[in-house]
Amino acid sequence: MPRTASTSARPTSRSLLRDVSVADLDLDREDGVVLSLTPAPGGPPVRAGAVYALVRLRGRPVATLLTTVPAGADPADVLTTAFRARYDGPYAQPPVHATLLNGAVPPRTTVVVATRERADRLGRALDSLLAQDHPDFRVVVVDNAPVTSATRELVDRDYAGRLTYVLEPVPGLAVAHNRGVAATDSPVVAFTDDDVVADPRWLSALTAPFAADPRTGCVTGLILPARLTTPAQVLLESHGGFTKGFTPRLYDPAAPPADEPLFPFTAGNFGSGANMAFRASALRAVGGFDPATGTGTPARGGDDLYAFVRILTAGHRLRYTPDALVWHHHRETWQDLRNQAYGYGAGLTAYLTAVLCRHPALLPALLAKLPRGLAHARAITAHRPGETGVPGAHGTDSHHPWPRTLSRLERRGMLYGPLGYAKARRCRR
């Protein structure tokens, strides 16, 4: 995630962190005719001003762009013109991964949603999950260490008979995810969060690779912002957010990617926990998620990164597919952003500590990559002058410096991560 520096916790260019409309534009592949223009799920109509748009070609996500829609102009015309000017020609043929998955019937799947005291957001996520076009799936809600009955009441009132409710009294996201895995017998288990809205094709796109390739152990997908209405949301997305791009990737331990010299220990490049699926047998074989990692534990995060690395080091392939899309509701406040920055750093080193503690045979490989790994860790929080705009957007004139305070918080989190993991292990005992 690229960073730039500032001398205060809140950037001096805060006035530039303006409300940005989020749009979903679908074009015809051959001639660029607009098939539809809608706001991101649940958002207000696309209006004049700054617009961040997902561009699809006949339903397939291919790019994002940031542009300004003048007052009185047709947003669809402005966005289409901007897309043609900036992305002329590369999408004439279906991508290779589309051909690979042709005819692959998505396997029976369980979707696990872990939640804690966020019933107001959970309903929105569940509605989108129950509307999936996947031919054979069920949804399991894991209520993690609740202090009220709000989640159970929501499920009983609005979703009775349509999904499964499971109580997990021990706090921690990894514990909740493991509880969800234990509650299913499906060959594939998918995970998402209670603050997303899933595209109707999300689950089919996320799980089809398991049918197409028996060596696939994990699949991750695309995460885009559902709202960019607060300065904290705009700043986070301007500097990476959760987006991993629009190029499908195959990570194969038998053929390490040439552009990933730290593979597989740069697990943050593979995807995020809000959009991931595993072959259940492979996940169980590596012991599931480390219960001393994740939100809700002293480790603060890293549960998804740990699972990615364990799947790869066990010899399975990991695929990233942008066809599997969820819209994520970013945290809204500056304090949320501070907590997130610290948690990112803590989760990174906590997961590395977990890997070494639980699988010391991986230590030689990690030590061999450690010098470049430390350089990488510093680079992702370093001062980078001149970074602008939102990822994938071209021609934007907004400059959103990443506060130096947040970079320091990430580094402090990195120093804390091993200690946090040790505390979490003691709590588990």
Q: Where are the domains of the chain?
A: 18-332, 355-428
Which superfamily is assigned to 18-332 in CATH? Spore Coat Polysaccharide Biosynthesis Protein SpsA; Chain A (3.90.550.10)
What DSSP element (H or E) covers 326? strand 317-328
Q: Which helix (H) or strand (E) holds 337?
A: helix 334-358
Closest among 335, 202, 223, 229 to 268, alpha carbons compared? 223
Residue 428: its pLDDT value, please? 79
Parallel, antiparallel or unpaired: strands 317-328 and 249-251: antiparallel
Residue type, 142: V
Instruction: Map tokens 């009775």 to a residue.
Output: 160
* HSE-CB of 307 using CA atoms within 13 angstroms: 34
- pLDDT, tens digit (0-9, with 9 covering 90-100), for 226-256: 999 888 888 888 766 788 999 999 999 999 9
Give per-residue pLDDT as tens, 116-162.
Answer: 999 999 999 999 999 999 999 999 999 999 999 999 999 999 999 99
Tell which residue, 27, 53, 60, has the closest CA to residue 201.
60
pLDDT tens digits in sequence order for the chain, 429 residues long: 333 222 223 333 343 456 899 999 999 875 678 999 999 998 889 999 999 999 999 999 999 999 999 999 999 999 999 998 887 655 544 444 444 455 678 999 999 999 999 999 999 999 999 999 999 999 999 999 999 999 999 999 999 999 999 999 999 999 999 999 999 999 999 999 999 999 999 999 999 999 999 999 999 999 999 999 888 888 888 766 788 999 999 999 999 988 787 889 888 899 999 999 999 999 999 999 999 999 999 998 999 999 999 999 999 999 999 999 999 998 878 888 898 889 989 999 999 999 999 999 888 887 887 676 566 556 654 544 333 334 333 333 344 667 888 889 999 999 999 999 999 998 877
384: amino acid identity, one letter:
R
Which amino acid is it at 88?
Answer: D
Strand, coil or helix: 172:
coil
Would you say 243 and 188 are in contact if contact means Cβ atoms under 8 Å apart?
no
pLDDT for the residue 222: 97
Amino acid (one-letter) located at 178: N
- What pLDDT is recorded for position 236? 82
Q: Look at residues 281, 400, 326 and name the one whose alpha carbon lies nearest to residue 11.
A: 400
Cis peptide before 261 (omega within 30 of 0): no
pTM of the model: 0.88
Q: How far apart are CA 292 and CA 424, in angstroms?
A: 5
Question: pLDDT value at position 389?
Answer: 39
- What integer pLDDT is reported at residue 429 of this predicted model? 74
d(CA 242, CA 330): 10
Residue from 116, 117, 9, 6 nearest 341 by CA = 9
Which residues touch 368 (CB under 8 Å, ≥6 apart)? none
* 133 secondary structure, DSSP code: -
Provide Rg for the chain, Cα atoms. 21
Q: What is the pLDDT of residue 363?
A: 85
Predicted confidence at residue 404, as pLDDT, reads 85
**Which candidate, 300, 296, 368, 377, places its Cα nearest to that of 115?**
296
Count the Cβ atoms, other than its own, within 10 Å of residue 300.
Answer: 24
User: pLDDT tens for residues 75-122?
Assistant: 999 999 999 888 765 554 444 444 445 567 899 999 999 999 999 999
